[in-house]
Structure formats: C-alpha cells, structure tokens
Amino acid sequence: MSKSYRVAILGATGAVGTELIQLLESRSFPVAELKLLASARSAGSQLLFKGENITVEAVDEQSFNQVDIVLASAGGETSKRWAAKAVEAGAVFIDNSSAFRMDAQVPLIVPEVNPEAAASHQGIIANPNCTTILMAVAIWPLYQVQPIRRIVVSTYQSASGAGARAMEEMITQAQAILQGKTPPTEIFPYPLAFNLFPHNSPLDESGYCQEELKMVNETRKIFGVEELRISATCVRVPVLRAHSEAINLEFDQPFDVAKAREVLSQAPGVELREDWKANYFPMPIDATGRDPVLVGRIRQDISHRCGLELWLSGDQVRKGAALNAVQIAELLVANNLLRSSLVASH
Amino acid sequence: MSKSYRVAILGATGAVGTELIQLLESRSFPVAELKLLASARSAGSQLLFKGENITVEAVDEQSFNQVDIVLASAGGETSKRWAAKAVEAGAVFIDNSSAFRMDAQVPLIVPEVNPEAAASHQGIIANPNCTTILMAVAIWPLYQVQPIRRIVVSTYQSASGAGARAMEEMITQAQAILQGKTPPTEIFPYPLAFNLFPHNSPLDESGYCQEELKMVNETRKIFGVEELRISATCVRVPVLRAHSEAINLEFDQPFDVAKAREVLSQAPGVELREDWKANYFPMPIDATGRDPVLVGRIRQDISHRCGLELWLSGDQVRKGAALNAVQIAELLVANNLLRSSLVASH
C-alpha cells in the first residue's frame, strides 16, 4: 500500500512556490491533496497542478488543519507567524526562510549531506540558504574523504535569489539601459543589469553581510563541524537565474586532483562538467532548470600544497531552494518521519 | 624650458587606443606630434586629438622614425613584430600586450608600485595585465606595511577586457535575449549577456588559465617577490566596463582593519569607497571612466587571524590599461628616461 499526503505550499505564487508545484508534479511526489496558500493580496489566482487549476487561498488559522506537510517559502516573518500553528495542527513545516535555520531545535538539512538530522525534528525542518546548499553538495563528498580545514568562497549570485520581481526588475533595467534610459531600482538598491554589487543583505559589525554569515554558520551546522573555518564574499551579478561560486578549499593534507574528480563524478546531486580541451566549465545558463550542482575547474591550488580550487553553478530556485525542500519531504516520507503518519494513515 | 615629445599610438582605433588619445589630451601630456598607427584595414579613418582630426596611418617600417614614445595596444603579435623596429628607431616602446611582460630584460611597471624599475629599461617597457594592475594598486600599500604571505582572488571581469567588439557583442546578445532570440557568439565562445563563465584564455596543464597565471606571475614580478603565493579564479561577467575583484589576503601577523583602512585612504591610485550604513561599496558603474581603483568592504577574515578580505572595482580600459601606460610615459618624462632625450632636445 503506498500512502499519499496532504501538502500545503505557503507562498505558492512566488518564484520558489511555483517551482515547488512543478517539482511535486515532475517528481511524482505522493500528493493526496494540494493546498496553495499565500497572502490575502495573492489569493484568488489559480495555478496548475497535474492538469488541474487550484485556487490560491489566503493563509489563516484554519489553513493547516488536515495537512501533513507544509512547504513554506514566503519569507521569515510569514514563517515565524505560521510555523507553530502548522505544527500544532499536526503538520511538518519545511521552511525555506532563514527564520529557524540556526535554532538548535530545528534540523537544517541538505539531503545529500545530513539526511540523518531529519529523525530528530520536532515539527519544523529548515531548508538552508541557496548558496550554502550549492556549496555543501559540492564539497561534502570531498570532506568525507579528508576533512576540510578552511574555505574561502566568492559567489556570483543571480537576480533570482531576490525573487521573481527582482528578476523582472533586472530585465526592465536592461531594456532601459539599452534604450539609453535610466534603469528603475525598486527591488535592488542599485542597477544590477550590466553592473554588479556586493550582496546587499544587512551588514554585521564584523563587516560580513548576512548572506555571507549564512554560508559560514549554516555550513557548520549542516556538516556538524562547529570549528570549520569559512570566509565568504557574496556578490550579486546580472544573471537571471542560477548562482555560481569560486571555492578555495584547504585540507589538512594534499588532496589529489584526480581523486577529487573521481569522488565528485560519483557524488549524489553533483554533475562534473569539465571539458578542458574545449575550455568549457559550468555556466549559469547550463545549470538553469536542472537538478544537479554543476562542478568543474577542479585544480590543485598553486598557492597552497593542501589546497584545491573548484567552480560551480547551480540553479538557485531549484536545488538552492525548491528541490531541496521537496527532497526533505521525500526523506520524511521514506523514513516515516511525518507526524501524522505516527497517528493514522489516510 | 619644457620639452614636448613625439608620440605614436599603435592600435589607435581599438578600445584602449581611443582611451590613450583622450588621456594624452586630458592629462596634458606634452605631445609635440601625435601619430596614430593601426593595421592597413583601419588606416584612413580620422580621430580627434585636441580639436584636430588626425588620420590613422597603416604601420610600416618608417612609422617609428622621429618618434620618442610608442604606446602600443594592438595585441601580442603586432607588438612582437614592431617593438624592435621602434627601439631601433630610438623610441621607447610601452607595450600593453602580454608579449614582453615576463621577459627579464623588460621592466613591468605599475607606477604606484615599482616606478624605479623604469630606470633599467632597454627600450621596451611592459604594461601589466588589467586585473593584475588593479590588484597591485590596491594591495601594495598594505604589503609595504606588512608582507603578504598568500593571496586568493576571484575576479568579475567585464566585456571590455576582450575589446570594443566584445562590448558590442554583449549588447547585441542582450538585445537578442530580451527579444527571445538566440544570442550571437562570435567574439565570446558562449553567450555572456545574462550569463557568465570562467575566463576563456588558454588553459595551462596546472588547470589555471593564462589570465589567472598572469595575475600570479606578473604580480610577483611587479612586487619583486618571487615566492609570493597567489591563486586566482578569473571569471567573465556581463558587465560592460570595469572589473571587480574579491581578494583574500593572508599576512604573517594580524593586520588591523582600521590600520588597513587608514593606509588605503591615503594610498596613491586608490579611492576608499565604503559606506557601511548605506551598504554601499565599489561597483563597476561607479568605477567606469574613473582613474582610481575603488576599494572597500575591508574586513578581518573570520576564517584566519592573519587574514583580510577586500573588494575592488576599477576601470579596465583606463587604469587597467591606457592610464597605466600613459603614467609610465609620464614617469619616463619626469625622470629623463626617454632614449631620444639622451641624444638631443627638439
């Protein structure tokens, strides 16, 4: 007997929300019923799931009754407001916001890295930050062969990381600039089209921005290595979708490049993309709409005998957000970790 | 008595060539006569200098007679072909190509870093690679306070680095993509608009590309520190003009951030651009058309007690190429290092 589950998507009309709907369908997630939730402003619109139009409902106190899994992607404030209600109603709340990620009671999961953390959930599971997920998938297989001592990473983050409206704004900016007009800046603080700027999340007194500190703190939590040394520089670039990262790794001992390539060619969630003759490596346009994190340009760091350099591109909306959340849901199903499943089958 | 000099620009019609003409005028370089040289294909066109139209001539065996300074920016092959002729004719050949940069007989100069190297020239002086110049200007002032042990740098390089036609191609690509058409790729191997890719210069067997190795080898030569450890990842991004770099520096001892800021706020060729409250730091659009290298986001590396992180944007065509070359010419004039000046004044 195969079970199916009542799923709610909170933030259904956003970039990640619409991707969640598509992934539940394309991955044949056992959905008994799909509830699409959003703010009152977005309620009433219809979205297609398995050939059927589903009307988006305004989230309210009753929304989570009879729901097994909530996939939330409506921002930290919305998650903080509704997570406890969903848990109270018996659902598992898989949250794509940063609200609960560093909460010691909340597992922070990349299924390719720490699936075992799901077992200890108490109703809420956090989906990590997008750049963190992409890096974790790419470097964890190497970490398992030999501990990483230090990471220095620079990111190339697309407009999609700031949501669907940000992507539209960048297109509008590009059109304006090509017509010799002043580009509008409503979502982004500065023009992004044909420009770039350090990630504009709030700055810590250390001088690092929140996005960078997420990469530091979340990677440590996911790997379960509190002392892992990480420095990040996060940069927004005029790419529509898919993030890229230049990652410098320091190990305790030299890590053979051929071995790294072999490990990554077999790693779950990773696709090795290296054509040295054609000078072809991962690019955002090739990662867009795809599940795996594309990794390439693996080379011995010429500045450090225990160093490796690598480069990746991964779809921020997909593996960086929606896909990882759906994989967590799949993990819960496969391991019988839904709360409602402890009570009854339906 | 103020002298003036006969200057020739080889590659006058290119992106750097036209910038050289403007800089000679705006910086009031003492030009007695300006000769514009290019390939036979570009000869005949006219370019404005101090309100006067100058006809571009096809370079030939006689071009360098009666010339004191050649500013060359027409590619390595052209430089290799004509440098010796120019030197033979008595000129100093300031070369923007990579042809002679690592030649032990040829000084490689960033005037803010190693002006003294000019004194030993034997007719040819090399202008470093653009990304190298920008990094050298920004980190040399720190190096003078305390030696740098290791550099890990990731670049964000604009289309301008591949020349005027590449900039045009990126615009054409953007227009095509916005109209739902396939972007043309003639100059670049892949679409650059709304995309990015690792720098497509030829790959070394080490896995580093030529652009990255230039940053390594040229920085060592300019600093005069053969053992300086550097690793670079060079990436082409869809920005029209001005390169950016995320630079991680390791010193032998901790480098106080306030001290770094103080040093850089007074450093020649550097403009500190940090507004922590407004979350505003160097961006390509603000560096475009400007002389200084904009530096900001200076912060203590949280992964290394002796580390500093910094970020820069600098105009690749200007300080990264044309301006640096004109500054070298100014250095020669100021220090009486022109070859013709040893013989006669005119």
pLDDT average, residue stretch A129-135: 98
pLDDT average, residue stretch A43-52: 96
Task: Give me the helices (H) in A119-272, please.
Answer: 130-145, 164-178, 210-223, 257-265
The ipTM of this complex is 0.96
Residues A187 and A290 in one domain: yes
- The predicted pLDDT at position A164 comes to 85
Residues B212 and B111 in one domain: no
How many other C-beta atoms lie within 10 A of the C-beta of residue A42?
Answer: 19
Do B192 and B175 meet the contact criterion of CB atoms below 8 Å apart? Answer: no
A76 is in an annotated binding site: no
- The predicted pLDDT at position A346 comes to 46
Nearest by CB: B206 against A174, A198, A302: A302
Rounded CA-CA distance A81/A283 in Å is: 38
Residues B302 and B246 in one domain: yes
Taking CB atoms and an 8 Å cutoff, what residues of chain A touch B156? 156, 196, 235, 237
| Residue B184's CATH number | 3.30.360.10
Report, as ranges of residue numbers, the positions in chain B whose pLDDT lies below 70.
1, 341-346
- The predicted pLDDT at position B342 comes to 52
Do B282 and B245 meet the contact criterion of CB atoms below 8 Å apart? Answer: no
- The predicted pLDDT at position B346 comes to 46
SS3 A184: coil
Residues B136 and B53 in one domain: no
| Probe site for chain A from B158, B188, B194, B236 (most A CB atoms < 10 A) | B194
Q: Is A285 left (phi over 0), alpha (psi -120 to 50) or beta?
A: alpha
**pLDDT one-digit tens code per residue, B127-136:** 999 999 999 9
- The predicted pLDDT at position A341 comes to 54
Residues A137 and A229 in one domain: yes
Least confident of A121-125, A190-194, B20-24, B342-346: B342-346
Q: Which residues of A43-76 are buried (b: 16+ CB within 10 A; e: fewer)?
A: beeebebeeeebebbebeeebbebbbbbbbbbbe
Residues B54 and B114 in one domain: yes
Rounded CA-CA distance B205/A276 in Å is: 9
| Residue B60's CATH number | 3.40.50.720
Rounded CA-CA distance A300/A310 in Å is: 9
Nearest by CB: A207 against B202, B284, B300: B300
- The predicted pLDDT at position B173 comes to 97
Taking CB atoms and an 8 Å cutoff, what residues of chain A touch B189? 279-280
Task: Give me the helices (H) in chain A, please.
Answer: 15-26, 76-88, 130-145, 164-178, 210-223, 257-265, 284-287, 323-334, 339-343
Residues A103 and A142 in one domain: no
CA-nearest residue to B245 within chain A is A154
Residues B280 and B211 in one domain: yes
Taking CB atoms and an 8 Å cutoff, what residues of chain A touch B237? 156, 196, 237-238
Q: What is the CA angle A252-A254-A256, rounded to 5?
A: 135
Taking CB atoms and an 8 Å cutoff, what residues of chain B touch A297? 198, 207, 233
Residues 6+ apart with CB under 8 A from A144: none
Residues B146 and B286 in one domain: yes
- Edge to edge, the sheet with strand A5-10 lists A57-58, A31-38, A5-10, A69-72, A92-95, A124-126
Q: Is residue A183 less than 8 Å (CB to CB) from chain B?
A: no
* Residue B199 annotated in active site: no
Q: Is residue A180 less than 8 Å (CB to CB) from chain B?
A: no
**Mean residue pLDDT across chain A:** 96
* Residue B130 annotated in active site: yes
How many other C-beta atoms lie within 10 A of the C-beta of residue A337?
Answer: 18
Token pair 């964000």 is at which residue? B156
Nearest by CB: A229 against B198, B200, B303: B303
Rounded CA-CA distance B38/B142 in Å is: 40
Choose among B202, B223, B222: nearest CA to B213.
Answer: B202
In sequence order, what DSSP letters do the residues of B136-154 get, joined into one string? HHHHHHHHHHS-EEEEEEE
Rounded CA-CA distance B248/B255 in Å is: 12
Give the percent of chain A with pLDDT over 70.
Answer: 98
Residues B283 and B233 in one domain: yes
Residues A184 and A303 in one domain: yes
Q: Which domain holds residue A107?
A: 5-128+321-343
**pLDDT one-digit tens code per residue, A273-324:** 999 999 999 999 999 999 999 999 999 999 999 999 999 999 999 999 999 9
- The predicted pLDDT at position A4 comes to 95
Which pair of tokens denotes residue A19?
């991707």
Domain count, chain A: 2
Rounded CA-CA distance B298/B247 in Å is: 10
- The predicted pLDDT at position B166 comes to 92
Residues A294 and A148 in one domain: yes
- Cα–Cα separations (whole angstroms), residue A5 to A13, A188, A329, B337: 21, 38, 10, 81
